[in-house]
Amino acid sequence: MFNTNKKISGMKNSFVYLICIFLVFCSFKPGKSGELSIVGKPLAKTVLKVVFKSSKDIAEQNIVWAISDSKNGKWEELPGIHSKEIVLLTNYVGKYLKCTITSRSKSGNKTGSVSIITETPIVLNGNPNTEWFKNAGMGVMIHFLKDVYAKEGGSKEYNDVVNGFDVELFARNCKDAGAGFVMFALGQNDGYYCSPNSAYDSIVGVSPGELCSKRDLPADLYKALNKRGIRMMFYLPGNPPIRNELVDKKF
């Protein structure tokens, strides 16, 4: 015998199931252009980031960056960049960037795509902290090391060499040579350094002047070079002094 109640109950369940699917389908919002924004300035050597406000129903997002000579021009995809942040390279200067985010809902029934373009092309303002180096031209680099200038002896001989360094003569020679900068080694693998450093002395367990010189040669050298318009950089390896067993062990 045909059961009418069972048929009606089945129809109700099916109807409820369809309603649920419809609600899930409608609740997914892939995003509008207003929900996508760019944080940062279009300056080369900096970073731009896109912020995307989206539905909780999103399961997957694919990010693609593209570049063009104009907003309405032909867009060329930048390969390998699928993150929300992008480093603005100098070869992007004069061009626009577009970020496109394609989203897929958790149910997998709907996808959406939204894009945003930089308001202005990428520009290069330069960085005064580094641009001077590019414009400085020729420079001088010196490895001022105990192993070279005070090979024989110990702390006394090394301090004698540091104290005898004529910074004015050196600076005049650099100026006459047309050097735009000087790169000077503070020390290297022998464990001796040409400037005082109480933290270093404390870690190694030595007295002032024993490994680090008593004279602050870098400070004196900077003063002599600076008044002649010559910039200065200091060189220091990142590793402990491997040829000084005591220092290497302490560090």
The answer as to whether 6 is a domain residue is: no
Which stretches of the chain drop beneath a pLDDT of 50? 1-2, 4, 7-8, 11, 14-34
d(CA 207, CA 209): 6
Q: What is the pLDDT of residue 110?
A: 65
Q: Strand pairing of 139-142 and 181-185?
A: parallel
pLDDT at 104: 79
Q: Euclidean distance between the first and final Cα of the chain, in Å? A: 91
pLDDT at 46: 92
Give the span between the Cα atoms of 75 and 97, in whole angstroms: 9
Same domain? For 67 and 147 the reply is no
In a domain, 53, yes or no: yes
Indicate the residue type of 248.
D
Residue where a domain terminates, one of 91, 117, 143: 117
Residue 21 in domain:
no
Q: Is the same domain home to 107 and 132?
A: no
**Which range of residues forms the domain containing residue 154?**
128-250
| pTM for this prediction | 0.55
Question: Per DSSP, what are the bridge partners of residue 235?
Answer: 185
Whether 212 and 197 have beta carbons less than 8 Å apart is answered as yes
pLDDT of residue 45: 87
What's the pLDDT at 55?
61
Do residues 110 and 138 both lie within one domain? Answer: no
Looking at the structure, do residues 98 and 167 belong to the same domain, yes or no?
no
Beta-bridged to residue 234, according to DSSP, are 184
Which letter does DSSP use for residue 151 in this model?
Answer: -
